[in-house]
Each structure stands twice: as C-alpha cells, then as structure tokens.
Structure 1
Amino acid sequence: MYFNEEFETLPRPALEALQLKRLQVVVERVYANVPFYKDSFDKAGLKPADVRSLEDLQRFPFTTKQNMRDSYPYGLFAAPLEEVVRIHASSGTTGKPTVVGYTQKDIETWSELMARSFMAAGAHRGDIIHNAYGYGLFTGGLGAHYGAERLGASVIPISGGNTKRQIMIMQDFGSTVLTCTPSYSLFMAEEASAAGIDFKKLKLRIGIFGAEPWSEAMRGEIEAKLNLSAIDIYGLSEIMGPGVAIECIEAKKGLHIWEDHFIPEIIDPATGLRLPDGELGELVITTITKQGIPLIRYRTRDITSITYEPCVCGRTHARINRMCGRSDDMLIIRGVNVFPSQIESILVGIEGVEPHYLLIVDRKDNLDTLEVHVEVDEGIFSDEIKILQLLSKRIEKEIKDVLGITCTAKLVEPKTLQRSEGKATRVIDKRKF
C-alpha cells in the first residue's frame, strides 16, 4: 500500500525531471538568502544558472556539520524567523548544537514523509503506534508523532524512559507498532522477561527502529524477542529528522529514500568524488523542498551504498543499504577499518552472548589495542571458568577471522553494561592522536 501512490511510483524520467526543477529553485533560493551559500558558490566560481542537469550538482561545494556550527544559531536559515514555526537542535555533545528550523510547509512535508514511511513499513490507519522516541529538541519523537497522526493512526506519545510503565502501556493499550532505537527495544525485551511478560502475548506486529546503526543479526534478535517484524528507518535532524528513508515491508532490502524531496549521492569520504552505484561510501544529501534550512550536498558521514534497481513493492525511489557506520566514528585499528556494527554482527551470532557490548580502544607501546566487553546470559556466566574461557577465546577468534584484528574479549555479567533509552554508547576510544 502507498500513502501517496502518484509520487511514490513516479517513473524514473518524471522523478528526475521533478528533482531538477526543484533543485534549480532551491539553489536560487539559498544563493539569494543565505550568505554562506553565496560565498561558497562564488568561491567555486558557480552561479545558480550553472545547474542545467542533475549531474551539475556534483560541481557544487559540500555543506558540513561544522558549517552549521559556525553559523549557529540561525546563519543557514533561508526563511525569516517569523516564518519558522518550529526549531529543533542536536545535543551538541561534540560542539555547538546544530540548529534546524521548519516553516509550516516543512512540517507538512515532514508529516507526509513520515506517514509514507509508516505505510511502507506496513502500518495503517487502524494501528496504535507506541512512540518511544524522545520528545523535545531531538527530532525523533515529534517527527514520528506528526507522521502517525497524518497517517490517521492512534499515537501514544510516551517518549523514552520508565521502561516498566512502557511495557504496561503496550499491554493495556494494545499497541501494534513500536518506534524506538533498536538497542532500547532489546532493553524492553530484557525488562519484560525479568517481569515474566511474554511479548508473544502482546499485539505488536511491527517495530520501526532507527537513530543508531544496527546489524542484520540484531534484527533477528529483536524479531525473536519482541515477536514483530523489525523495519529500519533513517533520518537525521540536519536534513529533516526521521523519515528520510525507510525499508518497505515487502522486501526489507534497502531503505527507500524519498527522492522527490532529497537527492542522494555516494562519495569517497577521502576524495569527495562521487562513487558508482553499489559502491560503499559516504551518503551526501541535498534537500530540494525544504524552506527553513535547505542544505546543498550535506555530508552526513553515514556509510552506505545505493541502488536504483526496481523494488518488488513498486516504489521507484532509490534504496540505500543499511548504514554500516560513520566515516567519523569508523575505528582504524592497526591499519584495519572497523565499524562497531561489524563486531556486533559477530557477537550476535555466538550462542550465549547478549547483544550488549562495549568496545574499548587504547594504545600501548605504540600499538592499538581493542578490548571487547560483552554480556553473556545467566546460564553461561554461572558456569565453570573453563566454559567462560572457551567462550572468550571463540569471540576473539571469530573477530580475528572475520575482521583481521586481534582483540581481548572480556565477559561481563548480564545487565552490567550501561543501558540507553536513546542512542547506545558502543565505543570508548582512549587513544591520543
């Protein structure tokens, strides 16, 4: 089923013609209204009239998160504040927050794209959507909320935290769709199990999970423990929030990115050059309908690949593959590029290991070291020391065989690693560069 069949199934030539028309308008708009873009375009010797085809986009300079911080708070807004009806911002844990503004039209667009996303995931008007994304400056909660209302479903705006109450509400209210981070969903499953609650007796049938990288193995773990179909959703505050791209329930093979509103590119993060379809690289997105803060060639730092092959669901929009990490949190250990999600995939496939882990990277005697802290289930942890030693060795061997890096595995008791109701902390890098 489609929320907006006309646009979700546009033939490729019509979709690209629409993209070009909208791109030309937005480039004109930012050049006229945003000093940062006028300066960067001028320095590159480019004018809005230079956009004659979609291929011309790659001639234009990138926009980065640092550019947004340098323009804090409103320097990149293309609309006057009196037209901005909502402001969101990142947490700012690694610097000044990145601030984004939405006009009323932006809110309407975002709501429709989230409604499209819910329907692509298999949700419908009759659903009760349990929204455990955080509300506030973070875009997740309100983005999903407005999309659920636009879909016509019933939304429970429970936000994060108070997990026991969340489970009670899901039981009592008959929630059918769960939205939260994948790591939090597993924490819910833990808490339910400890309370003797069987997720198979709940009415949940779909889980829409995003805001952090997760593996196919973790999908299997979630689906088994929560008794639902787990769908990957993608978004980022700078571009819009959740609902930039989502898997369809029919295929669950790549996330449809809504190309009538965003132009995706995959680049080599080192050279900035565009890569061929199917190659792994950094996702760059240009917004072509946003009014409050349009962004041209925004470097997301998310690593993925893209395909334009037809999908069985009938949607014509390109699909990006599951995010396998970020170009700026990629670990380089003794010359080997490693993403936390790769280690997660290995751990989840080992019997007796729980999907909760922490990677501690350090440098000793000028050599990188990796320590993998991982929880094991109650039965394994209470077993004899020899069994635990064998499990540690197996983890170390699997990581060495698959990724080519040496590590030390440290098994810890269940529920001892810190839990998160939002994005899980997976890496502590103690190295000094």
Structure 2
Amino acid sequence: MIFDVDNETLPREELEALQLRRLKATVERCYETVKFYREAMDELEVKPHHIQNLADVKLLPFTKKEQLRDNYPFGMFAVPTDQVVRVHASSGTTGKPTVVGYTRRDIANWGQMVARSLSAAGLRPGDRLHNAYGYGLFTGGLGLHYGAETLGLMTIPMSGGQTQKQLMLLQDFEATALCCTPSYALNIAEEAEVLGVDMKKLALKVGIFGAEPWSEEMRYELESRLHMDALDIYGLSEVMGPGVGMECLEGKKGLHIWEDHFLVECVDVDTGEPLPYGEEGEIVFTSLSKEAFPVLRYRTRDISVLEPAPCKCGRTHVRMRRISGRSDDMLIIRGVNVFPTQVEAVLMRTETLSPFYQIEVFRDGFMDSMVVNVEASPPLHAKGQEYMDKVAAKVQKDIKDFIGVSCRVKIQPTGAIERSMGKAVRVVDHRKKGH
C-alpha cells in the first residue's frame, strides 16, 4: 500500500507527541494568516505560545458554522487562493454555503485518509468500489473517489440516482464494495426486490455508508437485505470530508478517528466544557495537517461519545461511537429531547414495517405533537387496516417507553414516503413554517 499505516498503531505517548507538534504549528499558522482566528484569540488574550500541551486546546476559541458563512467565500483560507487547487461547499439550504479549500498537499492527505478508511473496511488493491455518493461540490463523491484510487481499487464513479442502472452496473462490473448514504442503499435494495435481482449473487462484500446518522438496527436491515457487511464512515466538509473516521471490519464498535490528522474533543452542548471519555456530548475537531482551510475547535453539532478502549484490530486511535444525532436535528417535544435515530431504532425492531420513515412535528395550540409516518411491508399491508392499526398502537407504546414522548404512528402504503437519492429528509418540522 502506498499510504503510511504506521501511525494507526502508534503508542499513545508517541501519537500525542505528534499531535502536539502539529497542533502548535496549526495554531501559529491560523493566528498569522486568518484574520478571524487572530481577532478571536486576541479577544480571549490567547497567543500561540500559550499552547504547551494538548489540554491547552481548551484555551482556543470555538469555530461555528455560522462564522464560516460570515466569512464567505474565502475569508477563512490560510493560503492565497492561487495555492488552492479545489473548493467544496455545503448545500447552503439555510443560507450561504460554507466554502472549504484544499491545497495540492491537502488533496493528497485526504486521499490517504480515505484510503486508510477503505483499508479498515477490509478492501485491498484488486477490489472494486461502486461509488454512489453525489459528485460535485458535495465532498462525498470525489472524496471517496480519490481515496479509492489511492488504495488501488477499480473505482466506478456512478454518483447518485438512476437506481436501475446502479443495479445493472453492480451486477456487470462485479463491484465488491458499495459507497452511498444508508438511506440510498435501502433504495437500491428495494429496487432489487422489485426487479427480482438476487443480492446474494452479487460480488458485494462490504458497504461504506455515511453522510447521515443511522442506527445499529439500520445496520442489521442493510446487512440482511444487501447481504454484505455495513460499515460507518464519518466526515464533514468543514474538517476535511469523508475519511475523518471509519469503523473497522474487525470491530464494528465505533469509528476510529485518525488522530494524527485531527484532534478530537467531546464537550458539553450547553457550556462547551470538555467532557471525559465515556460521557456523551458534542464532538469538536481541530485539524492538524490542513493547509488551505485549517479549523480550530470546530463544533460539529454531532452528538456522540469518545472511547479510548483498545480495539481487536490493533489500531490505537480513539473511537467515536455511532453518531446518535445532531444538536440541530434534535427535536424538543413537550420538554423531551428526541433524535430521529431513536425513533428509527424502534421502527427497525418492528419486523412488519419497512425502513422508510419520516417524522412530522406540529404545534397544536400551546402543545407540540409528533407524527411518525412509516411504510408497511407488503405482508403487513395485505393483512388489512385493522391489523395495521394494532401494529401502529404497539409502535406508539414502544416509542413512549423507549424515548419518553407520546406520538401518533401512521402506517403508510408501500412507496408513500419519498425516496432519497442522497441524504434522507427524516424530519419535517411544521413549527418552523408557522403552521
């Protein structure tokens, strides 16, 4: 393999020494070249020389997505634009997009991080990767593409959509790995059933799924319908793109965060205070090797837990549990915090339901109400409305017992919920629309 794997198994002391060297260099460069960071650090009366150990990262200012938007398009770049060889950007659905840049070295490092991630999934040169992530300004498609080529895989740049063609190419090109969002993988599985394609006869052995939170119950659904191992990959454009962290095939017990390139923290959502290993909070990243677009203490809004426990794969990098949700996706229903993945976990445990669902939230007078729309499997639908009403009542009780919030469950016909070609829309909050 052409990428360096030695750092994946560094003893903790050596790994932290490497992190500290890179952290000091990053902080100094941010202070010298990025006006936002210089002003934010001056306001806190923090200078680069104050960073003497890794714990001192808490002295640095947080970076939030809103601040990236305020500096649109290139205000957060740490190099002149003539050194930037590529830009990516978020969708910008809630305002101007966040724009990130990459130098030639950034692109090479990114390719190596994704190659490392694909290797952790058990892939080796000679494997074939079918990439159904969207190409373009979204980091998923090109991020996985360059990483797959770095590892030496035959790379099939299908992008999203055209699900029937996806299935045709999966059969004809004999891909051994599939990359896409978990919700789109379900679309592929559903289309295969409609077309009579036997997924067991395909060459696929592993799926690398990310870009949206998904539950352990969804893993079981994906593995049973697609007949391959389903692994989680983590990343976000503001930090790099896909490949910041990856589940290993041996463990399937959380995402290894590549700590030689990223310093990761878990902080209290409300206070921002650092939390110890094992406690749930918001994940925060400081980049350690980015040239064009370094970030200091970027608040991801992703909610998870960091665990330092050793893994059977031998990697020494800290693991991050599967993302339970995002602080900005969290619903507060009558004082109860609700994440879509919690609802998903209950639905996936109900065998007669399909994995396609959507949550609606309404304001009834002074009270909030939640409706969970979920599709019936064809066998359930065939049993008639009275039986489906009994199933809906049971699921309502299960959600109440598991999450602590009352809701209404509406079982819909097969195909009633819109299919996603990328990230699924799990929540429609009518309160935000003034309804």
Instruction: Output the TM-score relative to the length of structure 2.
Output: 0.98
Map of 1:398 onto structure 2? 398
Map of 2:7 onto structure 1? 7
Map of 1:310 onto structure 2? 310
Structure 1 residue 118 corresponds to structure 2 residue 118: yes
Residues in 2 aligned to 1:416 and 1:384: alpha-carbon distance in whole angstroms: 16
Residues in 1 aligned to 2:365 and 2:163: alpha-carbon distance in whole angstroms: 44
User: How far off its partner does 1:3 sit?
Assistant: 5.3
Residues in 2 aligned to 1:125 and 1:350: alpha-carbon distance in whole angstroms: 39
Q: Tell me, what secondary structure is at the counterpart of 2:40?
A: helix
Contact 2:378/2:414, CA 8 A, preserved across alignment? yes
Contact 1:31/1:38, CA 8 A, preserved across alignment? yes
Residues in 1 aligned to 2:214 and 2:73: alpha-carbon distance in whole angstroms: 31
Map of 2:98 onto structure 1? 98
Structure 1 residue 43 corresponds to structure 2 residue 13: no
Instruction: Summarize the alignment of residues 10-409 of structure 1 with structure 2, pairs less than 5 Å apart.
Output: 10-409=10-409
Cα RMSD for the two superposed structures: 1.1
- Counterpart amino acid of residue 62 in structure 2: F
Residues in 2 aligned to 1:101 and 1:423: alpha-carbon distance in whole angstroms: 23
Tell me the alpha carbon deviations over residues 142-198 of structure 1, each in whole angstroms, 9 at most, x when there is no partner. 000000000001000000010000000000000100000000001000001000001
- Counterpart amino acid of residue 242 in structure 2: P
User: How far off its partner does 1:404 sit?
Assistant: 1.1
- Counterpart amino acid of residue 116 in structure 2: R
Q: Tell me, what secondary structure is at the counterpart of 1:275?
A: coil
User: How far off its partner does 1:14 sit?
Assistant: 0.4
User: How far off its partner does 1:363 sit?
Assistant: 1.2
Residues in 2 aligned to 1:271 and 1:305: alpha-carbon distance in whole angstroms: 17
Q: Tell me, what secondary structure is at the counterpart of 1:208?
A: strand
Residues in 1 aligned to 2:376 and 2:319: alpha-carbon distance in whole angstroms: 36
Residues in 2 aligned to 1:191 and 1:384: alpha-carbon distance in whole angstroms: 24
Contact 1:3/1:119, CA 8 A, preserved across alignment? no
- Counterpart amino acid of residue 387 in structure 1: Y
- Counterpart amino acid of residue 380 in structure 1: L
Residues in 2 aligned to 1:429 and 1:227: alpha-carbon distance in whole angstroms: 35
Q: Tell me, what secondary structure is at the counterpart of 1:68?
A: helix
User: How far off its partner does 1:225 sit?
Assistant: 0.4
Residues in 2 aligned to 1:410 and 1:347: alpha-carbon distance in whole angstroms: 12
5+ residue gaps, structure 2: none
Residues in 2 aligned to 1:2 and 1:358: alpha-carbon distance in whole angstroms: 43
User: How far off its partner does 1:121 sit?
Assistant: 0.7
Contact 1:285/1:298, CA 8 A, preserved across alignment? yes
Q: Tell me, what secondary structure is at the counterpart of 2:326?
A: coil
Tell me the alpha carbon deviations over residues 111-146 of structure 1, each in whole angstroms, 9 at most, x when there is no partner. 000000000011110101000000000000000000
User: How far off its partner does 1:2 sit?
Assistant: 11
Residues in 1 aligned to 2:2 and 2:337: alpha-carbon distance in whole angstroms: 39
Residues in 1 aligned to 2:304 and 2:229: alpha-carbon distance in whole angstroms: 22
Tell me the alpha carbon deviations over residues 89-128 of structure 1, each in whole angstroms, 9 at most, x when there is no partner. 0010011100000000000000000000000011110101
Residues in 1 aligned to 2:4 and 2:410: alpha-carbon distance in whole angstroms: 50
Tell me the alpha carbon deviations over residues 314-334 of structure 1, each in whole angstroms, 9 at most, x when there is no partner. 111000000010011101111
Tell me the alpha carbon deviations over residues 47-68 of structure 1, each in whole angstroms, 9 at most, x when there is no partner. 0000000010011110000010
Tell me the alpha carbon deviations over residues 189-224 of structure 1, each in whole angstroms, 9 at most, x when there is no partner. 000100000100100000000000000000000000
Instruction: From the superposition, tell whether residues 2 and 392 of structure 1 become closer, same or farther in structure 2 (CA, over 3 Å).
Output: farther
User: How far off its partner does 1:351 sit?
Assistant: 1.7
5+ residue gaps, structure 1: none
User: How far off its partner does 1:408 sit?
Assistant: 0.6
Contact 1:2/1:120, CA 8 A, preserved across alignment? no
- Counterpart amino acid of residue 17 in structure 1: A
Tell me the alpha carbon deviations over residues 211-241 of structure 1, each in whole angstroms, 9 at most, x when there is no partner. 0000000000000000000000000000000
Instruction: From the superposition, tell whether residues 267 and 370 of structure 1 become closer, same or farther in structure 2 (CA, over 3 Å).
Output: same
Residues in 2 aligned to 1:426 and 1:109: alpha-carbon distance in whole angstroms: 33
Residues in 1 aligned to 2:392 and 2:153: alpha-carbon distance in whole angstroms: 47
Tell me the alpha carbon deviations over residues 265-284 of structure 1, each in whole angstroms, 9 at most, x when there is no partner. 00011001001101110000
The structure 1 segments of at least 4 consecutive aligned residues displaced by more than 6 Å after TM superposition are none
Structure 1 residue 429 corresponds to structure 2 residue 429: yes
User: How far off its partner does 1:382 sit?
Assistant: 2.5
Residues in 2 aligned to 1:4 and 1:177: alpha-carbon distance in whole angstroms: 22
User: How far off its partner does 1:385 sit?
Assistant: 2.2
User: How far off its partner does 1:77 sit?
Assistant: 0.1
- Counterpart amino acid of residue 369 in structure 2: T
Instruction: Output the TM-score relative to the length of structure 1.
Output: 0.99
Q: Tell me, what secondary structure is at the counterpart of 1:431?
A: helix
Contact 1:2/1:8, CA 8 A, preserved across alignment? no
Identity of aligned residues (%): 55
Tell me the alpha carbon deviations over residues 279-303 of structure 1, each in whole angstroms, 9 at most, x when there is no partner. 1100000001000110000000000
- Counterpart amino acid of residue 364 in structure 1: D
- Counterpart amino acid of residue 408 in structure 2: T
Residues in 1 aligned to 2:97 and 2:290: alpha-carbon distance in whole angstroms: 20
